[in-house]
Structure 1
Amino acid sequence: MTLLDTTSGAKIAPAATHPATPASPSAITRRVTLVVVCLATAMLMLDIAVVNTALPTIARELGSGMGGLKWVVDGYTLALATIVLSAGVWSDRLGRKAVFVWGTVVFTIASLLCTMAGTMEVLIGARIVQGLGAALLFASSLAVLADAFDDLAARAKALAIYGATIGASFAIGPVVGGVLTETLDWRAIFAVNVPIGGVMLVATRWVRESRSANPRRGDWAGQILVIVALAGLAYGLIGANDRGWSDSVTVAALAIAAAATAAFIVVERRVAEPMLPLSMFSNSSFAGGQVATFAISASMFALFVYTTIYLQGVLGMSAIEAGLVYVPGTAVMLVVAGATDQLVGRIPTWILLSVALVAVAVGLAAMTIGGVEGSGWAIAPGFALSCIGAGIFNPVMSGLVLAESHADDAGLAAGINDVFRQSGIALGVAALGAIFPAQSVLAGGSAVDFVSSLHVALWVGTGVALAGAAVCALTMRGVVAAQR
C-alpha cells in the first residue's frame, strides 16, 4: 500500500521498501514522533496567532509604520506559501526526517534572530527565514507521522490529536501573545520557540527516516517565478499607501508580478513535472475550492492584523485585553470544527461551504459596529460568528480537497490548498492595508480616519467572503459530500 504525504503531495514508500528499518515502528518511535510533530505544529500555529497581538507593541518599540507591520506578517506567510510545495519534493527525495530536522534548525535560529532584532528591517528578514523553516516543517511533519503510524486505526487517532493541537494552539494563541507581550516583552513570543526547537531536535533521534520510492523532480523555474510573482505583488500593494498607485516603483512592481505570473503559467504547462499542475484546475469543484480558500484567508484572517491594531491603537486596550476579545470566537471555532463531522456526508458540500462563507461575511459586517470610543467587546459577537463559519469551512474544505483529487494527487492537492490559504492571508493583508491611512494610528495618526478605513476594509472583506460563497454555489453543485 502506498501512503501519501498530505502536505507535499508525493508518495510515501511503505515500510517494506526500507529493509534497514523494522516492518513496523516501535511503540516509543510512535509516541515520540507524535509528540515531536505536535510540538512542531503547536509552535507554528502559535507563531502565527501570537504575532498579531504583539504588533502594536513592536511598532511602538521599533518605530514602525503600517508598512513595516504588514511585512512582519507577510514576510512569514509569503515565504511559507512560495516554497512549501518544493519543500515537499525535497523531503520526498532527501528524507522526511532530514528535512524536518533542517526545518527545526532554520525555524529555531530565525526565532532567536527575531528576539535580537533592533530594527524593523532585521525583524522582517528574520520572519522571512522563519517562514522558510515553517515550510520545511509543514512539508515533512505529516509524512513523518504517516510513516510512524502505518496502521490505519492508530493513524486516525494520531491525526485526531494532531488536529486538536492545531485548533487548541490557534484558540489560545491571542491570549498567549498578549500575556507574553505584556508581562515580559514582545521578544518573548519568539524566544519560547528556542527551547521548544531544542527539545524537538533531541527527540528526533527516535524518529525514523523515510523517503519516496518515486520522488517528483524539482521545478526550479516555476519556483523562482512564483517567488517573483507573489513578492512583487505584495511589494506593490504594501508600498502603494506611501508611494501612491501611480508611482513608478508601484507600477513596476505590479507589472513584474503580472509578467512573472504569465511566465509561470507558461512554464507549468511545459515542464515535465510542474510544482503546480494546472490540469488539476480543470476540475471545477477543486478549482472553486481554492478560490473559496483564498477568499476566507484574504478576508477574515487577513483582517486580524487591523482589528488588533484597532483594539490596542484606537481603544487603548492592553495586549492581554485584546487577546481576550478573540477567545470566545477562537474557542467556538474549535468546538464547531469538531461538531462539523456530524454534518459532512449529510448536507451537500457546496451548501456547507457557502453557508460557512456567508457566516464569515455576516460576522465581518457586524464588526463594523466598532467605533472610535466604546468597548472592544462590541466586535466580539461578529468575530464569533465569523469563527463559526471558519469552524465549518476548514474540515469541510479538507474533505473536498481529498475527495476531488485523484488518489496519487491527494497530498499534492492538500499542499496546493495550503498555498492558496497562506497567499490569501499575505495578499489580503497587503491589499486591505492599502485602504488605511499612510500614517499609522500607532504613531499619532488619526483614530477617526483609521476606524473609517477599518469599516471600509471590513465591508471589502464581507464582499470577498460573499464572492467565495457564490463561487462554491456555482462550481460545486455536483459534489454530494466531501468524505473525510
Structure 2
Amino acid sequence: MTTTDSSPTTTAVPVDPRRWWALAAVATAQLMVGLDLTIMNIALPSAQRDLGFADADRQWVITAFALGYGGLLLVGGRLSEAMGRRRALLVGAAGFAVASVAGGLATDTWMLLAARAAQGAFGALMTPSVLATLSTSFPVAPERGKAFGVYGTVMGSSSGIGLVLGGLLTQYLDWRWCMFVNVVVAAIAIGLAAYAVRPVPPARRPLDVPGAVLASLGLLALVYGFARAETDGWRAGVTVGSLALGAVVLVAFVVVEARVPSPLLPLRVVRDRRRGGSYLAVLSLAVGIFAALFFLTFFLQDVRGWSPVRTGLGFLPFTVGLMAGVRFVSPRIGRSTAVLLLPSGLLVIAAGLGLLGALHPDSGYWTHVMPVFLLVGAGAGWVLVTANSTATLGAGPDTAVAGAMVMTSQQVGASLGTALLSTVAADAASSYLARHPASGLAGVVHGFGVASWSAAGMLVAMAAVVFLVLPRRAVRAA
C-alpha cells in the first residue's frame, strides 16, 4: 500500500450552523441500522412459532439482512453520490421504514426474509451518506473528534440496545414490534435530516455498472459462503463453491476497477495506507465483537438461565465501556496518529477476549463477565471512532465510498467471525465432551473459551499488521 492522498490543507472551512442537528440526524439513522443487526436475535423463537419455519431456516432471518447490507454497501456509496447525500439519506430511511412494516406484517417465512433483505439494501444506501455527511460537516478538530465520538457510541452500543429492546418488545408486546419500532426511529431521522442536512450537488459521473455487478455478486457470495460454513461446514460443496466464487469475482472486480475511467471503488482509496489500516482494524474488530457478544449471550441465557430482558440489561456494561473508549480517544483525533490508536484499541479488545477464554460455568457476572464487557466495549469505541475518522478524512469526492468500505469491512469481519469461531468452538466442545462425556454445558463453555483465545490471538496478530501498514506520520484535520 502507498499513501496516495495528500493531507488536508489548513485553509478556512465554512462552519455549518446546523451541523450538530445533522449529527443527530445521521446518528439516529445509523442507530436504526445497528439495532436491526441484533434486535431480531431474541425475537427469533417467537417469530418461528408464529410463522412456523424450521430450525434450519432461523439463522436466515439474521443472514438475509447481512446479505443485503454487506453485499450492496459499495454500490450504495456510489448511488448516494449520484443521488446526492441528503436525498440518499432520506430515501434510505424511508425505504427502511417501509421494509420494516412489511416484515412486521409478514404472513410467512419468505415475506419476512424478503423484508429483512430489503432493510439491508436500504441500509446500504443510507450508511455511506451518513458517514459522508458526518465527515464533511465536521472537517476541523476537535469538533471532528467529538462528532465521531458520538457516532461511534451510537454505532457501537446499538447492538446491546437492540438486544435490550428486542427482549422488552418480544416479552411485553409481540415480536412484530421489533420491526414496527423502526418506523418511529425512521420518522425522527427523516425529520432531522430534512431540517439539518445540507444538500450536496450529485456527482456527475457515470455509474460503473460492471464494477457494481461484480462487487455486489462477490460480496454476496462471500457472506453467503461464510453463513453456509456455519451450518454445513467448511468442506461442504455449497460453502467451497460460494467462497471460491466470491474470491474469483472480487479479483475480477479489482481488475475492472483498474481499467475503467470512473470506477465504483477507485483503487487509490484502499491503497492509501491510512485507509487500508483502518479497514483491517475494523475487520478485526468485528471478529472480536462477535466472539464476545455471541458467546456471552449464550452463557447468560443458556448456562446461567437468565431471561431475554435480563440478558439484554446485562449487556449495558458493554455500552459503558464503549463510551469510556470513545471519551478517551475522541480528544486525540487529529492530535495522535492512527498508528498508535488503532493497534492499541485492538489490544484492549484482545485482553477482554483473553479474559473471556477463562470463563467457566460457575463464573460470576460481576467478577468475570462484566470486566469482559468493559474491556471489549472500550476497545470497540477506541477503534470505531479512530477508523471512521481516519478512513473518511481527506477522501474528497470518494468520501461516501471510503466510508462504505469501513462498514463493508465490518460486515465481512462479522460473517467471517461467525463462521470461523463457531467452527472452532464446536470442534473444541466435541473434543472436550469426548474426553468428559458427563460434563454437559461445561464442554460447550470450554469450546467458547478456546474460540475466544483464538480470537484474542488473531487480534494481537492483526494489531501488529495494522501497525506495520499505517504510516508513521500524523494526519491532522484541516
Q: What is the TM-score with the length of structure 1 in the denominator?
A: 0.79
Change (3 A) 1:56 1:350: farther
Moved more, 67-76 or 201-210: 201-210
Letter in 2 for 1:385: L
Moved more, 114-123 or 99-108: 114-123
Change (3 A) 1:407 1:38: closer
**Are the counterparts in 1 of residues 103 and 112 from structure 2 also a CA contact under 8 Å?**
yes
Residue 399 (structure 1) aligned to one of 389, 395, 399: 389
**Are the counterparts in 1 of residues 93 and 186 from structure 2 also a CA contact under 8 Å?**
yes
Letter in 2 for 1:475: V
Q: Which residue of 1 aligns with 2:467?
A: 473
Supply the distance in 2 between the matched residues of 1:327 and 1:393 (Cα, whole angstroms): 19
Supply the distance in 2 between the matched residues of 1:349 and 1:31 (Cα, whole angstroms): 25
Q: Aligned-residue CA RMSD in angstroms?
A: 3.8
**Are the counterparts in 2 of residues 84 and 136 from structure 1 also a CA contact under 8 Å?**
yes
Task: Note the C-alpha offset of 1:296.
Answer: 0.8
**Counterpart check, 1:355 vs 2:349:** no
Change (3 A) 1:393 1:69: farther
Moved more, 53-62 or 455-464: 53-62
Task: Note the C-alpha offset of 1:346.
Answer: 5.5
Query: Gaps spanning 5+ residues in structure 2: where?
Result: 1-13, 430-439
The superposition leaves residues 358-410 of structure 1 with CA deviations (integer Å, 9 ceiling, x where unpaired) of: 1111101211233345555532211211111112212222333245x554444
Q: How many residues align?
A: 452
Q: Which residue of 1 aligns with 2:309?
A: 320
Supply the distance in 2 between the matched residues of 1:409 and 1:236 (Cα, whole angstroms): 29
Supply the distance in 1 between the matched residues of 2:142 and 2:467 (Cα, whole angstroms): 36
Taking the TM superposition and a 5 Å limit, the aligned residue runs for 1:328-407 are 328-344=317-333, 347-373=336-362, 375-376=364-365, 378-403=368-393, 406-407=395-396
Change (3 A) 1:288 1:92: closer
The superposition leaves residues 147-181 of structure 1 with CA deviations (integer Å, 9 ceiling, x where unpaired) of: 9x699799868777656654665564432233223
Match of 1:290, SS state, is helix
Change (3 A) 1:363 1:152: closer
Q: Which residue of 2 aligns with 1:228?
A: 217
Change (3 A) 1:152 1:355: closer
**Are the counterparts in 2 of residues 100 and 137 from structure 1 also a CA contact under 8 Å?**
yes
Residue 451 (structure 1) aligned to one of 439, 445, 450: 445
The superposition leaves residues 205-243 of structure 1 with CA deviations (integer Å, 9 ceiling, x where unpaired) of: 656773436434322222222222222223333223544
Percent identity among equivalent residues? Answer: 30
Residue 283 (structure 1) aligned to one of 239, 253, 272: 272
Supply the distance in 2 between the matched residues of 1:397 and 1:359 (Cα, whole angstroms): 15
Letter in 1 for 2:275: F
Q: Which residue of 1 aligns with 2:80?
A: 91
**Are the counterparts in 2 of residues 238 and 434 from structure 1 also a CA contact under 8 Å?**
no
**Are the counterparts in 2 of residues 53 and 308 from structure 1 also a CA contact under 8 Å?**
no
Query: Gaps spanning 5+ residues in structure 1: where?
Result: 1-22, 441-445
Q: Which residue of 2 aligns with 1:300?
A: 289
Letter in 2 for 1:308: T
Change (3 A) 1:407 1:51: same
Task: Note the C-alpha offset of 1:419.
Answer: 1.8
Q: Which residue of 1 aligns with 2:248?
A: 259
**Are the counterparts in 2 of residues 97 and 140 from structure 1 also a CA contact under 8 Å?**
yes
Match of 2:37, SS state, is helix
Q: Which residue of 2 aligns with 1:246?
A: 235
The superposition leaves residues 416-469 of structure 1 with CA deviations (integer Å, 9 ceiling, x where unpaired) of: 22221222223322333334559x9xxxxx745533332232123212211220
Supply the distance in 2 between the matched residues of 1:386 and 1:31 (Cα, whole angstroms): 28
**Are the counterparts in 2 of residues 285 and 476 from structure 1 also a CA contact under 8 Å?**
yes
**Are the counterparts in 2 of residues 49 and 173 from structure 1 also a CA contact under 8 Å?**
yes
Change (3 A) 1:418 1:184: same
**Counterpart check, 1:195 vs 2:184:** yes
Supply the distance in 1 between the matched residues of 2:255 and 2:247 (Cα, whole angstroms): 13
Match of 2:206, SS state, is coil
Change (3 A) 1:290 1:241: closer
